[in-house]
Structure 1
Amino acid sequence: MKGVVLPALFYALTVFAVGFVLGTIRVLIVVPWIGETAALFAEIPIMIAVSFLVAKWVLSRWPVTPELKPRLAMGLVAFIVLMMCEAAISLTFFGNSFTDHLAHYLKPQAWPGLAGQLLFAAIPALILGVRPN
């Protein structure tokens, strides 16, 4: 577990930073143009591609064993970090309570984004062939 924390942090924080920028563009520019649902469905494949590229880059530089358990552990740690970052943004910038933030994930319109986040968590395990240089 110890060897997956740093790569997981780098993976999660890098993808979160890209998602923060894309999410801002989505909310301010794309949503008024095509609507919330269409904008979300347009953003998800981009974020999955970003997640794949970042995971591949991270795994080519950090010695996370190319076996299922360590890669799943990396994905789990990254998912937890990502969700903590999302909660921090929700509470800090949008004034939501933690309960309100969690309740958002129970709404059907949040499920595609959550599915994308779960896929983000699985990506390190899905690319087992990537080894450190």
Structure 2
Amino acid sequence: MQTEAPIMMNSATFRATREFLGLSDSWLADHLGVSPRTVRKWGTGESPVPVSVAEELTVLADRTARVVERYAEHFREREDRWPMTIPRTLDQGHQWHHDPGMPVDWWRNLAARVCERVPGLWLEWPEAA
């Protein structure tokens, strides 16, 4: 039985991936159950990125890519559903019905990536409650 090699990640890749996903040190720390200082140390190279953290960040990146593609496909096929609405506040981001618990910056980065794939698509904030 062949096992997959562990995912290794250096500090530069860790930080670039975290930022590309729109994940703050504090959000990722909370998600991983560590302190924000620990996340900062991984991003600066002061501490090595544990394999389990590299694997989780890869899972988050893969999940994000799938969500981007799902939204892009949806908006390509349904221009009548334009614009894409994204959460404006932290509270909205945590309660967002599509992917609850993801931070607002993640949504903004995701939405920008969807707009890259769907020419002409624009973004809007949800209407105030």
What is the TM-score of this pair, normalised by structure 2? 0.29
Of Structure 1 and Structure 2, which has the larger fraction of its residues in helix? 1
- With the length of structure 1 as denominator, give the TM-score of the two structures: 0.28
Greater relative contact order: 1 or 2 (C-alpha under 8 angstroms, separation 6 or more)? 1
| Max Rg structure | 2
